[in-house]
Structure 1
């Protein structure tokens, strides 16, 4: 028995549980499969096999393949969404510098997670939960960019206001990067160059809408 002077050791609360590790293995397996197979071609059996568990065990964590990929999209966007808030949090950045950094962060996200991000765009039309997750991510970026544009002399309301411009340009940026990724998805060098080019184009458009004084 432990002595009065030595309290019993407790498991750290932040340590991942067995269930956490299983869920991570399932999502990692789904992500790996998505690199070589389409969503329609991926089976629950293949995901379970990649995670090192039986098919029935997978259903203990996710009710369907759709739920697995919804969770995978959530995990990915949670990571990339931090980029948006980090740019806004740096109040020392001038609007132009903040815009450049935000677009470059988006470019890096597409380079690192493009397969999942492009799948989110495509699956959002047929799996409502993914559509909601993806749309809320773009809107989160729009809110962040609105804060940046609010530091300029843009009008407070109307078509040329910071919220309206930020939202329109964020959706434009999302779709432009999506097209660049998909068109160069199977050629590594072409894909990287295409994403960089799109980043340059989007930065030019974002900067062009700023008031002249900014």
Structure 2
């Protein structure tokens, strides 16, 4: 599985290319070995540089993983912003979950690692909290456009949006684990051809139904 690396841009600096190679290598190694087994030496070797050169960019394995999470979170934010511009609530729900499936298909292992480390690595925890807040706001906006009342209270759009956000996270977390087991690779891709696994699609369908039901849009 290749990481979310962008194509080489004209004028891209050698340092940018090396940093991208480090992050791409880290993502591949997480899929192959898991966080605990990956070493700085593994990452440096895979990126084609020395350990000393790697330390010029990152001070530790944890810093590499944090940067990898930040890169993946940036993709999350981009998808969320495009979903927020969708005015029709039903279309917004479908688009949000379609993009969620895409992200977990491509980067499920990084997402699971981020969730696992969010309570023990402050930088990753802060990134994940910001991401959750962004999605809660987007979900709340969709609910309000569908007619759910705004304001405080357990039946308000904000409280429902928060609950839906964490439900979606955990549903996809476990579905990604199932996809990784089915594939046998640990990366959560599922079939090796870039198509979404059945587990992720089933999680998406269930989350979509619950979200539409909360919004009063279920058929």
Q: What TM-score do the two structures reach when normalised by structure 2? A: 0.85
Picking from 143, 159, 164, the partner of 1:164 is 159
RMSD between aligned alpha carbons? 2.1
Higher relative contact order, chain-length normalized (CA < 8 Å, sep 6+): 2
Q: Post-superposition shift, 1:212?
A: 6.1
Contact 1:111 1:192 in 2 (8 A): yes
Alpha-carbon separation, structure 2, partners of 1:138 and 1:31: 22
Alpha-carbon separation, structure 2, partners of 1:169 and 1:106: 13
1:193 equivalent in structure 2: 198
Picking from 15, 39, 43, the partner of 1:43 is 39
Greater C-alpha Rg: 1
1:203 equivalent in structure 2: 208
Q: Which runs of 5+ in 1 are unaligned?
A: 1-12
Q: Would the alpha carbon gap of residues 212 and 122 (structure 1) be closer, same or farther in structure 2, given more than 3 Å must change?
A: closer
Q: How does 1:129-148 map to 2 (within 5 A)?
A: 129-148=123-142
User: Aligned pairs, how many?
Assistant: 200
Q: Which runs of 5+ in 2 are unaligned?
A: 1-8, 184-189
Please state if 1:115 is matched with 2:120: no
Alpha-carbon separation, structure 2, partners of 1:105 and 1:54: 37
Alpha-carbon separation, structure 2, partners of 1:213 and 1:125: 35
Please state if 1:182 is matched with 2:177: yes
Q: What TM-score do the two structures reach when normalised by structure 1? A: 0.87
